A and B are shown apart, each in its own frame.
Chain A
Amino acid sequence: MKKLQEKSRTHSKHPHITNLMYLPALLLFTVFIVYPFLEGIRIAFTNWNGFSQHYDYVGFKNFIYLFQDKNMYTASWNTIIYGFGSTVFQQILGLSYALLLNRMILGRNFARTFVYLPVLIAPVIMGYMWYFMFQYRYGALNDILAVLGMDPVDWLAKGKRAVGLIVFVNTVQFCGISMVIYLAGLQTIPTMYYEASQIDGANAWKQFINITMPLLRPAFITSITLNLIGGLKLFDAIKAMTNGGPGYASHSLSTLIDYTYFRSQSAGYSATMGILLFAMILLFTLIIQKLSARQEVLL
């Protein structure tokens, strides 16, 4: 104990020694994040195919093409839909489950586990499971339609419907995370507020609007941030369900970057799209940070 105290005093006298402890983490961050990021920016100005030792610098050619590329606009729009669409539905479902399963009802623990269980499944496996549901031939959904005497539907053949179904799958898989966050939030709200409001004659709706919702604000911010980031970088489910198709209709920026790099052999242009995705996530993160800071002030 005495030795420890002595060491602690040494550190406080020499803060620079303590600061050196950051170096390993900083080194790893530099090697695996900063350096690849800077390399990505450099490659964005080249026509590199992803494997050759020879390539040329092409100035802003990739950036100019970026704004002419219809597929990029489709993928960007889809990325926003995957991000915000999944987030909205996950909040609605997650909060509903949390409100229901916060009550003392029969089989509550089982139901909580049931809702959370899909989170534990790898997204790529979940994507394939749903693909087999939506498949035109041998798909479970079309088998049900056949039993009902209806014609089969090629569920993933239309771009917008495919995007919607991917949002649905992502929502079903990850609404358990929102539920857990909201459950934790609900359990921190003191019951005295509800008791006091009951005395004042508030009904369940008024209690929800005036007590539950305001006091769940921190939980909202956490859940929205997590779901939004997850949705914006959605990759596995798209690869498994549609592989970005039909054509380019359900690509997100992540899958399009992967496709452009490895399939089209356009690493330079792929890096340019990577910069766009970085800018997009940075923008959304800043907006969320700004909003959360304002909420903290309000609270």
Chain B
Amino acid sequence: MKILKTCLLVLFCLVAGTSLFAAGQQDSDTTNLTLMLNFQSTEAVTTAFEEVISDFHSANPSIKIDLISGTSDYEALMKSKMATNDLPDMWSTHGWSVLRYSEYLMPLEDQEWASRLHPAIKPVVTDEKGHIYVLPIDVDMAGVAYNKTVLAKAGVKVETLKTWKDLYGAMDKVKAIGVTPVHIGGKDSWTVGNFFDWAAPAVYITDPKHYSGDDLVAGKFDTAKWELLAGLMKEMNEKGYLNVDNLTSTYSDSARALAVGDAAFTFYGNYVLAEAWTFDPDADLGFFPVPAYYEGDSPSLISGERSTVGIWKDTANVEACKTFLSFLAIPANAAKIAGSNGIPAGLTDAESDTGKLKADYKKWADAPAFPYFDRAFLPSGMWDTMCSTGAGILSESMSTTEAAEKMKEDFNRMYK
């Protein structure tokens, strides 16, 4: 027994000693960084990051980056990590660099690449004090996603869809050929909220004559305007422009309907096109700017974050992280990652391959872009109210007035 105990003790010391030695050796030679990618990162995006990281390792042998791919639980995981203030050195922020993650991120506006940010993404990643917390490698510019084959059959040209009135006209034509004009996958409640994110700028922001952005930021909520917005959803539902199962189908159903030509339009980001192409790679799909609400105003695009990387403010490896971000900001590297998403790069001097949407991006290059409405103009937490009031309208359990009142109530409750 005594011999066994002695043997075990010697073995333990050997193992512990070797591990400590190895760790010590590694610490002295290399800086280990962790980079977490979010749930939006597809296989192509992860591969692009891996390739860039591999090049980075060759150029900077003293820094090793451990890439962790995101899962569907990414948001919950990051919230837990933030709550315990135990975060990776770098992570991606999926649209929330300012509102959710800025408390934990390091301001980066002093970095060289900050002066090269694409004008469509700069306001999205900049807070009211002018701080920029992430490197936006690409910019998620989107409008109304549509099936080109269906619209051609219905005799609709998207270039003519300047206002919601024009859009309704197009919906009538689509309906006349037996296709559902708009698909909403309301079982995933975010899809209902997303409609408001798409339609709200036209009512509150894009028209200088009806601009309410400053009021919203100052804590004043215009219920009359929200009633107009909610009215759009109600009207579409009543006129039969929406899919019958708009409350029980899923986002994936929307993508499928768009791909196979069962629906003409969806109000999601261009990620819906990527998902639709998984159902039918040959589907002829595209996007166009969201029509204006008021006569005289112009259609606009919605811009948001996609692939971003920020640095934890408490990381012990600040310089190594900044070196990596500078490497990511090299035009060729940014273009590679943006190209894996099929969207424009977030830096003015990087040109990415936007694949099947190249012609559309070129066509709408001059359209004004506005950030996601709720992230820029509503208090944190309002997203849920947008989703639930929208569902209330679709299920006819809520009037447009009640929806607007509920929005105001929660706006006042959550505004700080």
Least CB separation from A137: chain B residue? B245
B279 at interface by CB-CB < 8 Å? no
Q: Does B94 contact A (CB under 8 A)?
A: no
Partner of B245, one of A154, A243, A244, A262: A154
Interface contact A264-B384, CB-CB below 8 Å: yes
- B249 on the interface (CB 8 Å rule)? yes
CA gap between A73 and B186 in the complex, in Å: 22
Residues of B within 8 A of A52 (CB): 82-83, 103
Q: A53-B85, A54-B103, A136-B244 are in contact. Are A246 and B380 (CB under 8 A)?
A: no
Any B CB within 8 A of the CB of A157: yes
B253 touches which one: A49, A137, A247 (CB < 8 A)? A137
Nearest to A70 among chain B residues (CB) is: B406
Query: From A263, which residue of chain B is reached at the shortest CB distance?
Result: B384
Q: How far apart sit A156 and B244, CA to CA, in the bound complex (Å)? A: 12
The answer to whether A247 touches B388 (Cβ under 8 A) is yes
Q: Assess the A246–B388 pair: CB atoms within 8 A.
A: no
Q: Does B384 lie within 8 Å of A154, measured CB to CB?
A: no
Known: A246-B391, A246-B394, A263-B384. A154 touches B83 (CB 8 A): no
16 contacts between A and B (CB under 8 A): A51-B83, A52-B82, A65-B413, A134-B248, A244-B189, A245-B186, A245-B187, A245-B248, A246-B186, A246-B247, A246-B248, A246-B391, A246-B397, A247-B388, A249-B395, A265-B384
Interface residues of A (CB under 8 A from B): 49-54, 65, 71, 134-137, 154-159, 242-249, 259-260, 262-266
User: In the complex, what residues of B have CB within 8 A of residue A262's CB?
Assistant: 75-76, 79
Which of A246, A264, A266: most chain B CB closer than 10 A? A246
Contacts A137-B253, A247-B391, A247-B392 hold; do A51 and B82 have CB atoms under 8 A apart? yes
How far is A95 from B80 in the complex, measured between Cα atoms in Å?
45
Given A242-B187, A263-B384, also A50-B248 (CB < 8 A)? no
- Residues in B lying within 8 Å of A, measured CB to CB: 75-76, 78-80, 82-83, 85, 100, 103, 186-189, 244-245, 247-249, 253, 380-381, 383-384, 387-388, 391-392, 394-395, 397-398, 413
Task: List residues of chain A with CB within 8 A of the CB of B245.
Answer: 135-137, 154, 157
**For chains A and B in complex, what number of residue pairs have CB atoms within 8 angstroms?**
91
- Taking the closest CB of chain A, its distance from the CB of B73, in whole angstroms, is 10
Given A50-B83, A53-B85, A154-B245, does the pair A243, B188 have CB atoms closer than 8 Å?
Answer: yes
Nearest CB on A from B87, distance (A): 11
Question: Which residue in chain A gives the minimum CB-CB distance to B390?
Answer: A247
Q: Which residues of B lie under 8 Å from residue A137 when comparing CB positions? A: 245, 249, 253
Complex Cα–Cα for A274 and B249 (A): 30
On chain B, the residues within 8 Å of A49 by CB distance are 380-381
User: In whole Å, how far is A131's beta carbon from the nearest beta carbon of chain B?
Assistant: 8
Q: What's the Cα separation between A243 and B250 when bound, in Å?
A: 10
Nearest residue in B to A136 (C-beta to C-beta)? B245
Docked Cα-Cα span, A252 to B244, in Å, equals: 25
Which residues of chain B come closer than 8 Å to A155, judged between CB atoms?
248
The complex places the Cα of A10 from the Cα of B311 at a distance, in Å, of 60
Contacts of A263 in B (CB 8 A): 189, 383-384, 387
Report Cα–Cα, A265/B76, bound state, in Å. Answer: 11
Residues of B within 8 Å of A71, CB to CB, are: 388
Contacts of B75 in A (CB 8 A): 262
Q: Are A50's CB and B79's CB within 8 A?
A: yes
Assembly CA distance A244 to B245 (angstroms): 15
- A85 and B185 CA atoms in complex are apart in Å by 29
Query: Which residue in B76, B78, B381 is a CB contact (below 8 Å) of A266?
Result: B381
Bound complex: CA A71 to CA B385 (Å): 12
Query: Which residue of A has the minimal Cβ distance to B245?
Result: A136
A247-B79 contact given A136-B244, A136-B249, A242-B248, CB 8 Å threshold: no
Least Cβ–Cβ distance between B405 and chain A, in angstroms = 12
Beta-carbon contact of B248 and A135 below 8 Å: yes
* Chain A residues whose CB sits within 8 angstroms of the CB of B82 once the complex forms: 51-53
CA distance A232 to B395 in the complex (A): 26
A-B complex: 5 closest residue pairs judged by Cβ atoms? A136-B245, A247-B391, A51-B82, A264-B384, A246-B247
Q: Please indicate the chain A residues that have their CB under 8 angstroms from the CB of B76 in the complex.
A: 262
Take A51-B100, A157-B247, A265-B380 as given contacts and tell me if A247 and B187 are in contact as well, using a CB distance cutoff of 8 Å.
no
* In-complex Cβ contact of B247 among A51, A65, A245 (8 A): A245
> CA A12 – CA B44 in complex, angstroms?
67
A65 to B381, CA, bound (A): 16
Q: Which of B248, B383, B391, B392 contacts A156 (CB 8 A)?
A: B248
- The distance from the CB of A137 to the nearest CB of chain B, in whole angstroms, is 6
The residue of chain A having its C-beta at the shortest distance from the C-beta of B76 within the complex is: A262
- Which of A51, A54, A249 contacts B397, CB < 8 Å? A249
CB pair A53–B244 under 8 Å, yes or no, is: no
In the bound complex, residues from chain B placing their C-beta under 8 Å from that of A158 are: 395
Given contacts A154-B245, A154-B247, is CB(A243)–CB(B103) below 8 Å? no
CB nearest to A54 among chain B residues: B103
Q: Is the Cβ of B103 less than 8 Å from the Cβ of A154?
A: no
A137 to B103, CA, bound (A): 44
A288 to chain B, nearest CB (A): 33
**A134 vs B82: C-alpha distance in the bound complex, in angstroms?**
39
User: With A and B bound together, what is the CA distance between A51 and B78 in angstroms?
Assistant: 8
Name the distance in Å between B384's Cβ and chain A's nearest Cβ. 4
Complex Cα spacing A242 to B398, Å? 19
- Residues of the A chain whose Cβ atoms lie less than 8 Å from the Cβ of B387: 263
Instruction: Using CB atoms, name the residue of chain B closest to A48.
Output: B83
Q: Which residues of chain B are within 8 angstroms of A50 by Cβ–Cβ distance?
A: 79, 83
Give min CB distance, A259 to chain B, whole Å: 8
A136 touches B248 (CB 8 A): yes
Q: Which residues on the A side are within 8 Å of B186 (C-beta)?
A: 245-246
A260 to B395, CA, bound (A): 21
Residues of B contacting A248 with CB < 8 Å? 388, 391
Cβ–Cβ contact A159 & B189, under 8 A: no
Q: Other than A53-B103, A242-B248, give 16 A-B pairs with Cβ distance below 8 A.
A: A51-B79, A52-B103, A71-B388, A134-B248, A136-B245, A156-B247, A157-B245, A157-B248, A242-B187, A243-B187, A243-B188, A244-B189, A245-B189, A246-B397, A247-B392, A265-B380
A136 to B257, CA, bound (A): 13
Tell me the complex Cα distance, A243–B189, Å.
8
A216, chain B: closest CB distance, angstroms: 40
Minimum CB–CB distance from A244 to chain B (whole Å) comes to 8
Q: How far is the CB of A253 from chain B (nearest CB, A)?
A: 16
